[in-house]
Structure 1
Amino acid sequence: MASRFDAYFGLKESLESLLGRPVDLVSPVAPENPYFAASVAGDSHEVYPG
């Protein structure tokens, strides 16, 4: 069974390969941080709603 670490980076690498660009996977609670939310507000795209 793959660890969460392996699953996370496996998904990240697969998406980057598929999309041909860097991908950031963000926890659903991360945007609660106002500094983080402000830094990505204009550049983020929700792909899979939680």
Structure 2
Amino acid sequence: MQETIIIILFLGALGYLGNMLYKQTKSDSGCSKNCGCDSPVSHLKKAKEH
């Protein structure tokens, strides 16, 4: 019983970390949270829009 709970918690933690990693690699900006900083990617997007 205890092993099952530990395995569920471990898999949940792996899923959480995997989700965070996926969101960071999926983002279109240079920052993982799209903070609006002066990243090279945001400059390219602005140049393409004009």
Could you say which structure has the higher helix fraction? 2
Q: Same fold (TM over 0.5)?
A: no
